[in-house]
Structure 1
Amino acid sequence: MAKITISSLSIENLGPFRERQTLDLSVTSGRPVVLVKALNGSGKTTLLTALQIGLYGHKAMDGLKRSEYEQLLLGLQRKDATGNAAVDISVTVEVGGSQRHLEVRREWHRRSDGLVEELSIFEGGSKDLEFSQTWDEFIGSILPAELVQLFLFDGEKIEELANPERLPDLLRRATEVFLGIGGIDALGNDLKALERRAALKNKNTSAEFESARSGLGEWEQQVKVLEAKVQTLTQEQGAAKNDAEQAQVLLDKFTNDAQRRGLTAYEQAAVIRNAVVASKDRVDAARGGLAEIMADPVLPIAWLSKLWTQYSDAWDQDQHARHSKLLGQEFKKRDQRVMSAIAAVAPKAALDALRKALADDLQAYTRSRTAAVPPLQDANPRDVERQLKDATSRLGGELSRLQSAQVELDKAEQRIGQIPAEEQIGEILKLLQDKSKAASAAEARLAGITERLEEAQSNLAHTRMRLNAAQERLGTEFRDRSLEAKSLDASSRARRALMIFKDRLLASKAQWLSEMITTEFRNLLRKRNLIAKVVVDPKTYRVFIEDGKHQELPMDRLSAGERQLLAISVLSALIKERKGRFPVVVDTPLARLDQQHRSALIKRFFATVSHQVVVLSTDQEVDGPAYDALKPFTNAEYTLDYDDAAGRTSIHAAQPPEAN
């Protein structure tokens, strides 16, 4: 951001200044003040006006029309002048660390039809034609013309800024300028103008286009209504779903509790009783089957296990004896065949010996049969054992069946005993019925809302389809008009958004202004406990003071000097917003202040408000203690001496202040 320092001011043929008079305004670091002292009427106000109009021309005179500006200049221009009225201001412009030394010359030529103003910008002794044409934009980017009178101001009129009716407008306008909100307003006005021109252009718009737009608007409205309905029903569906789930949870919880208290047994009483009857039938059937098996004639043998073993052994021995007898008879026949076969060929002695051996062997075999075993004529015990095994197996199955049936019967009879009486379960049944009805009602409500929601969604989809068709028709048949209509709608929305953005910017800056003005005012004020803070309302920008009890302090409670300090505090806050990028020039700043307030103003305002401060004072205003307080910060001092006889003012340098 650029920074401007005024090196010198030259003025001629304006007010009390006739011949060219030059005021060196150069300052050094630590000594930002240039003091100019003069009697009333010697040209202090003319110097201030020269600086304003020299830099900004008619834009510096806020509220003045061009004709009034010319009248002001005609009043300032000397009648005895031999040349044109002119103001030359040498400035140093710092941009990005580099410096440019410029001379701004504004000259007024008198003609029969009025004054002609000429602006020239010189750099290095040569006139820069392009810069001369763009100077207003350049200086306005550093300090807008709307705020020049906040930096170059008349101290005797500064108290007027503390007027509660004027101050809000001043603060708002200054804040808008600092924030660049003027661009927002300009953009808003341009959009309005665009809308007006479009309205005039389409004044005779065809009925068909208006009908199409109207139909489109109706479909858009229906879509909005249906979207709102869908949103509402969706919320209702969520709530109904929660209610249904909650009702079902309560029902399930109560049902589980009721079942523990006998509800299940009561509800299943008939089933349990039928189970008892069936179990008894199975027990009876098992017993009948057992009795039938017990009638098997072979089965008693199972209880005669020892005797049966003996019988089986005896039967085996009998069978062995019978087999031995048969074998002995066969052996005897064999021996006879053998003897007959060898009788013819063997000696007699050998035959006798063989016959004897065979006879002894046969006799020994036959003696092995037990004579004590009685002959048995019964069936084979192996066959009986197979029948016995089958009967025993069937007996075990029937016994197991009987046992299982008996266990089921016992359990069924036990459950019969757990069935509560009807009078014991009546209240539970009633509550269960109520909760079931509540759950059913919640489910029915959810189903109804879901059905309405699906219907609304279907209608919305259909309406959107019709809306798209209407938009497509506008885009096809009235493309240019449709685009223009969309642009105008966007313009309207943009203007509303800009206004909201502007209001929020101003509201955010109000807090910063409150803090800055409070700090500046407390620094300048002698009675520190008089105020707690200065408040800038974020909406109206109304300025009011809160005392130590946080109650509003009426402005009429302040003295004239305190009101002037409040106004200077406001200016100081606004000036410091520019962060020392522009000089401050003040005319007659201390006239209404007492000595203590003058000292505070000098040390906390003049010495700190900017890198360059020009104080235009009366001969007695900055004097004595005030002069001593300002002296350490003063870089140069001048006097304006008015010659009554010649009717002109001359500028003279005073003795330079001593260095610290």
Structure 2
Amino acid sequence: MILDELVLHNVGVFRGRHQFTLTPPNPRQPIVVIGALNGGGKTTVLDSLHLALFGSLARTAGRRGSSYQAYLRRLIHHGVPDSEGAAIELAFHVYQEGERRNYRVTRSWASSGSNVRERLDVLVDGRLDRALTDRWAEQVEAFVPRGVAELFFFDGEKIETLAELDNARDMLKTAIGALLGLDLVDRLATDLAVIERNKRTKLAPPAAHKQLEEANQRVRDARTVATTAKQEAARSRTIAERAEHKLRQLEDQLRLEGSDLLDRQRTLEDEQRRLAKALQASDTRLLDLANGAAPLQLVHKQLADVLDVAERELAADEQGQVAEVLARRDEDIIGHLRARRVKKQTVDDLEAFLAQERQERLALAGIEPVIELSAEDTSRLRSLLDHDLDLLAEQVVAAIEERDSLTRQLDDVVHTLAAVPDSRAVEKLAAQREEALSTWTAARSASVQADGQVADADVRVIDAQREMERLLRSATEEVAENDDAQRIIQHSERVRDTLAKLRVEATRRNLHRIETLVIEALQRLLRKERLVTELRINPESFTLELRGRTGNVILPQQLSAGERQLLAVSLLWGLAQASGRPLPVVIDTPLGRLDGVHRSHLMSRYFPQASHQVILLSTDQEIDREAWNELNPHVGHAYRLDFDADAGHTTAEPGYFWPEPTR
């Protein structure tokens, strides 16, 4: 199924005719983004899709328990006469028996006095099909079964509700029952229970009728109380959600005003003093290095030349001293040889040779002294050049880098301190935030109390029903066992027991595939991909059990708020895949309180792959500029809903809040 077009005429905040093209231009761009600020008409778009398809059976956020006619009357744009009315058109196409069939569902209504007249027309391939129109409530189930519709059309509130895992059980039971066709089993069991009750009532003797009627009235009263309690709980939740939304807005505004910096001011001032002291110590170290031998690194080459000259001077001095020693030795040798009357020619030759050698040594020693360093000073200069200066250079570089780092840190702290607002500038916002926190706390408490009253009312309904059943059984015990009505009751009880076992067993046999699809979806979305490795759904209670890589049970409170929301998305995604139905996915305000990484995972791993067609209804805060740049390659159409507060209506324009990045 592909949604091709949605047309709104005088619906909600939309005045006049507004047309949205929804058909994806190609498989690589399945996403349609409709952006609006809060109150701009996003929820009206989602409700309109539900309403066009299901009419009075649609589960819309705007109806809130009111009658269908009252809901339709409220949907007519307040700026037009009720007699002009409103209309929704939804065009889609499906492939049936290998051929494309184009459908257009037009639902229009107008108010006259206390009545609202609704008209429904269903066109197939451009022609009005009156027979299909008359049985549309049954036929739409072939396209979008109401039992699975909430797996494909949902809002951020539903995700946040499912993120509280205790609330997921009812949704899982309903969705899995619809997927497996067990909703028929439930309806059959309910119908059998009604038959049993009617039969038991007929079997009861006349004397018990009054008692039964009183018990039945108690059941009706208990149900009325339960309904009222549920309505009050829904109202309390709405108040709490609005209070929480206002609290978030004020907290965001306080952050923008720099209240967090104001809270950190003393810490920042302490850090400034610490860094200033460390910087002073670093400067002292650099001065100490500069007062020592470190500056000699600047004349390293010249010092090397000095060392070379000094070493040559030392060598020349050594040669001169050696020549003097050799002269005395040679004189002694020649004198000794002459005293021994050695042949004169031999002594003369030896004397000439020794003289020549002394002359060569004296030539080497003939360097004029310039440096005149001692051997000890020359050795110190050699050590300085070979080792000490390199070590000092490393110490200087490290000290300079440390000083640069301290300087940058100090500059950052100084700049941050400069941004700290005057406490008086945020006092009003802080007071509003405290008031909003108090309001939210009270609303949350009232909501919890209302939920408790709902639970108590449900218990009273169950108790009243049990008392009714007990009275019915007691009243019919006197009836003979072979009575037809008694046999019907007994058979019905056995059938209901069998149906209950069938439901559990059918659920058990199909859960593995559903669990696998959900855990695969969750691991694709989670930042910590191996955080949850196993997911189990109890086939009777529909509670969830999560396990980690070591087999340890993961409690819901061990998951962050963002991780629980991703788990809720994974449940919807896995169940949608398990349905095997190629339906579009429509999500209103999809990102909730997810952090940056989890948002990115939804952008890259879920939205482009959730279905062959995905319609996102978002604010500019949810899909911001960065998220838009990431999502844009997958977007086929984009619209922006602009609400004009002065005119009191919304207009739809092509394009999102941000310009398209270069692809």
TM-score (norm 1): 0.54
Q: CA deviation at 1:622?
A: 2.1
Matches within 5 A, 1:172-251: 172-203=173-204
Corresponding residue number in structure 2 for 1:51: 49
CA distance in 2 between partners of 1:84 and 1:110 (Å): 6
CA distance in 2 between partners of 1:79 and 1:148 (Å): 30
Structure 1 stretch 188-197 or stretch 40-49: which is displaced more? 188-197
Corresponding residue number in structure 1 for 2:104: 103
CA distance in 2 between partners of 1:508 and 1:657 (Å): 48
In structure 2, relative to structure 1, the CA distance for the partners of 1:204 and 1:594 (3 Å cut) is closer
> Which residue of 10, 14, 30 corresponds with 2:11?
14
Corresponding residue number in structure 2 for 1:77: 76
Matches within 5 A, 1:326-405: none
- C-alpha contact (below 8 Å) 1:175/1:509 kept by paired residues: no
Matches within 5 A, 1:565-604: 565-604=566-605
Matches within 5 A, 1:646-657: 646-654=647-655
The answer as to 2:25 corresponding to 1:25 is no
- C-alpha contact (below 8 Å) 2:51/2:60 kept by paired residues: no
| Letter matched to residue 165 of structure 2 | P
Matches within 5 A, 1:99-498: 99-203=100-204, 488-498=489-499
Deviations 1:200-219 (A, max 9, x none): 555579xxxxxxxxxxxxxx
| Letter matched to residue 159 of structure 1 | E
CA distance in 2 between partners of 1:493 and 1:126 (Å): 50
Q: CA deviation at 1:484?
A: 6.3
Q: CA deviation at 1:159?
A: 1.4
| Letter matched to residue 36 of structure 1 | I
In structure 2, relative to structure 1, the CA distance for the partners of 1:66 and 1:621 (3 Å cut) is closer
| Letter matched to residue 508 of structure 1 | R
Matches within 5 A, 1:543-582: 543-582=544-583
CA distance in 1 between partners of 2:662 and 2:32 (Å): 14
Corresponding residue number in structure 2 for 1:630: 631
CA distance in 1 between partners of 2:500 and 2:93 (Å): 38
CA distance in 2 between partners of 1:81 and 1:156 (Å): 31
Q: CA deviation at 1:483?
A: 6.5
In structure 2, relative to structure 1, the CA distance for the partners of 1:202 and 1:537 (3 Å cut) is closer
- C-alpha contact (below 8 Å) 2:514/2:578 kept by paired residues: no
CA distance in 2 between partners of 1:151 and 1:134 (Å): 23
CA distance in 2 between partners of 1:514 and 1:489 (Å): 37
* 3-state DSSP of counterpart to 2:597: helix
Deviations 1:363-411 (A, max 9, x none): xxxxxxxxxxxxxxxxxxxxxxxxxxxxxxxxxxxxxxxxxxxxxxxxx
Q: CA deviation at 1:634?
A: 1.4
CA distance in 2 between partners of 1:197 and 1:558 (Å): 49
In structure 2, relative to structure 1, the CA distance for the partners of 1:65 and 1:484 (3 Å cut) is farther
Q: CA deviation at 1:113?
A: 1.9
Deviations 1:96-149 (A, max 9, x none): 322211111112221322433332212244322211122121222333224423
- C-alpha contact (below 8 Å) 2:101/2:125 kept by paired residues: no
CA distance in 1 between partners of 2:124 and 2:28 (Å): 28
- C-alpha contact (below 8 Å) 1:595/1:626 kept by paired residues: no
Corresponding residue number in structure 1 for 2:369: none
Q: CA deviation at 1:76?
A: 3.1
| Letter matched to residue 108 of structure 2 | E
In structure 2, relative to structure 1, the CA distance for the partners of 1:65 and 1:191 (3 Å cut) is farther
In structure 2, relative to structure 1, the CA distance for the partners of 1:56 and 1:34 (3 Å cut) is same
> Which residue of 38, 41, 55 corresponds with 1:40?
38
- C-alpha contact (below 8 Å) 1:632/1:659 kept by paired residues: no
* 3-state DSSP of counterpart to 2:138: helix
Q: CA deviation at 1:69?
A: 4.2
CA distance in 1 between partners of 2:153 and 2:650 (Å): 21
Cα RMSD (Å):
3.0
Structure 2 gaps of 5+ residues are 207-480
- C-alpha contact (below 8 Å) 2:46/2:586 kept by paired residues: yes
- C-alpha contact (below 8 Å) 2:10/2:87 kept by paired residues: yes
* 3-state DSSP of counterpart to 2:120: strand
Deviations 1:299-332 (A, max 9, x none): xxxxxxxxxxxxxxxxxxxxxxxxxxxxxxxxxx
CA distance in 2 between partners of 1:525 and 1:169 (Å): 24
Q: Percent identity?
A: 33
Structure 1 stretch 140-149 or stretch 522-531: which is displaced more? 140-149
CA distance in 2 between partners of 1:46 and 1:73 (Å): 12
Corresponding residue number in structure 1 for 2:402: none
CA distance in 1 between partners of 2:636 and 2:540 (Å): 43
In structure 2, relative to structure 1, the CA distance for the partners of 1:563 and 1:517 (3 Å cut) is same
CA distance in 1 between partners of 2:42 and 2:60 (Å): 20
Q: CA deviation at 1:514?
A: 2.3
| Letter matched to residue 43 of structure 1 | G
CA distance in 2 between partners of 1:104 and 1:57 (Å): 11
* 3-state DSSP of counterpart to 1:529: coil
| Letter matched to residue 77 of structure 2 | R
Corresponding residue number in structure 2 for 1:350: none
Q: CA deviation at 1:575?
A: 1.4
- C-alpha contact (below 8 Å) 1:636/1:657 kept by paired residues: no
In structure 2, relative to structure 1, the CA distance for the partners of 1:198 and 1:174 (3 Å cut) is same
Deviations 1:149-196 (A, max 9, x none): 332111244111122221011101100111111111222233333334
Structure 1 gaps of 5+ residues are 206-479
Deviations 1:274-301 (A, max 9, x none): xxxxxxxxxxxxxxxxxxxxxxxxxxxx
- C-alpha contact (below 8 Å) 1:195/1:488 kept by paired residues: yes
